């Protein structure tokens, strides 16, 4: 017996998942570390701590066997997974700002709604988002978040006809005739905006709505009319192809027709017309500004 205690030390043998990872003098050192890791749960956006539970045993090791406590601690934090949770404030489904707490997000949403709800239609919400990396998301304070959302809302407001948000340009192209212009092709002031684009170019719906007409209509040629609600209707004229039918629901960005030159038209272009309660308004007050 005496011999053993002269030549050997009694230490604690540490293993993780059945694998020996080293020796410590005192297992409480490891246990404290693990408790500290577990205590992170609920702080600094850490929603969950997934760590390892080591197994301990006694071991007799030779006196010159080195203890590797710091390596063991490193191994344990290596095998610990932290899950972070944040809150994204969304505007019309898009993430606008990421804040640290639900309370912050809720306050922001309430405040924004109070300031804007009457003037423009929008959907504001809160999304929980998770990450295993603290640096994946950059959070901002409530003041900045409010600014981000407000700026976007201002844009929405300026691009809205009677609360109907024109979030999508139907095509990109050159504007060849503006609203109200008088040209030899017709005897009255232009009722919409003409945008030239190659034959067959996809025409996207400028806003959400329901197709109220899809067919041939006199000087408009092949025409799609989308009823966007609130008395707002959008006309897409001179199309070569119509991809939607009366009664179809469309979302902003959906392809509804193709550019052509049907009806009273001298070249491939889209006639884009907005009517509010039946009267044409200048589209460039809201889109293609």
Residues binding Zn ion (CB under 5 A)? 192, 194, 271
CB of 164 to Zn ion, least distance (A): 21
Closest to Zn ion by CB, 22 or 170: 170
Q: How far is CA 271 from the centre of its chain?
A: 32
What minimum distance in Å lies between the beta carbon of 47 and Zn ion?
A: 55
Neighbouring residues of 29: CB distance < 8 A, sequence distance ≥ 6:
69, 73
Q: For residue 252, give the nearest of 130, 122, 98 by alpha carbon.
A: 122
Pairing of strands 222-229, 209-216: antiparallel
Taking the complex as a whole, how short is the minimal distance between the CB of residue 160 and Zn ion, in angstroms?
23
Q: For Zn ion, which is the closer residue by CB, 173 or 192? A: 192
Cβ nearer to Zn ion, comparing 14 with 270: 270
Q: What SS3 state is found at 65?
A: coil
Give whichever of 22 and 192 is closer to Zn ion, judged by the CB atom. Answer: 192
Rounded CA separation 109/123 (Å)? 10
Decide if 160 contacts 286 (C-beta within 8 A).
Answer: yes
Minimum distance between the CB of residue 222 and Zn ion, rounded to whole angstroms?
14
Instruction: Region of 47 please: left (phi>0), alpha (psi -120 to 50) or beta.
Output: alpha
Spatial CB neighbours of 38, under 8 Å, sequence gap ≥ 6: 49, 51
Residue closer to Zn ion, measured from CB, 163 or 263:
263
Smallest separation, CB 194 to Zn ion (Å): 4
Point out which residues pair with 81 in neighbouring strands: 50
Residue 155, Cβ neighbours under 10 Å: how many?
13
Residue nearest to Zn ion (CB): 271
Give the nearest distance from C-beta 281 to Zn ion in angstroms. 14
Shortest approach of Zn ion to residue 220 CB, angstroms?
Answer: 9
Nearer to Zn ion, 204 or 271 (CB): 271
96/238 with CB nearer Zn ion: 238
CB 269 within 8 A of CB 176: yes
Indicate the residue among 156 and 224 with the shorter CB distance to Zn ion: 224
Smallest distance from the beta carbon of 272 to Zn ion, in angstroms? 8
3-state helix/strand/coil string of 204-266: ECCCCEEEEEEEECHHHCEEEEEEEECCEEEEEEEECEECCCCCCEECCCCEEEECECCCCCC
Decide: 268 and 199 in contact? Cβ < 8 Å.
yes
């Amino acid at each position: 017996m005496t011999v053993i205690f002269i030549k050997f030390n009694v230490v604690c043998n540490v293993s993780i998942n059945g694998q020996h990872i080293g020796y410590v003098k005192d297992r409480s050192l490891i246990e404290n570390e693990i408790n500290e890791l577990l205590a992170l749960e609920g702080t600094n956006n850490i929603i969950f701590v997934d760590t390892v539970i080591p197994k301990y045993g006694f071991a007799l090791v030779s006196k010159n066997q080195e203890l590797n406590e710091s390596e063991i601690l490193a191994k344990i934090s290596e095998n610990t997974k932290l899950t972070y949770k944040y809150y994204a404030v969304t505007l019309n489904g898009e993430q606008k700002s990421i804040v640290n707490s639900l309370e912050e997000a809720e306050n922001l949403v309430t405040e924004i709604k109070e300031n804007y709800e009457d003037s423009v239609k929008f959907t504001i919400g809160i999304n929980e988002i998770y990450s295993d990396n603290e640096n994946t998301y950059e959070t901002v304070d409530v003041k900045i978040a409010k600014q981000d959302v407000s700026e976007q809302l201002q844009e929405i407001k300026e691009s809205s006809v009677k609360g109907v948000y024109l979030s999508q340009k139907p095509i990109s192209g050159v504007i060849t005739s503006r609203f109200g212009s008088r040209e030899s092709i017709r005897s009255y002031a232009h009722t919409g905006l003409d945008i030239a684009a190659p034959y067959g170019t996809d025409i996207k719906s400028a806003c959400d709505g329901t197709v109220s007409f899809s067919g041939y209509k006199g000087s408009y040629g092949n025409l799609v009319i989308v009823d966007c609600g609130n008395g707002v209707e959008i006309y897409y004229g001179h199309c070569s192809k119509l991809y939607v039918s009366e009664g179809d629901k469309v979302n902003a960005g959906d392809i509804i027709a193709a550019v052509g030159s049907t009806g009273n038209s001298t070249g491939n272009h889209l006639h884009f017309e907005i009517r509010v309660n039946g009267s044409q308004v200048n589209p460039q007050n809201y889109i293609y500004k």
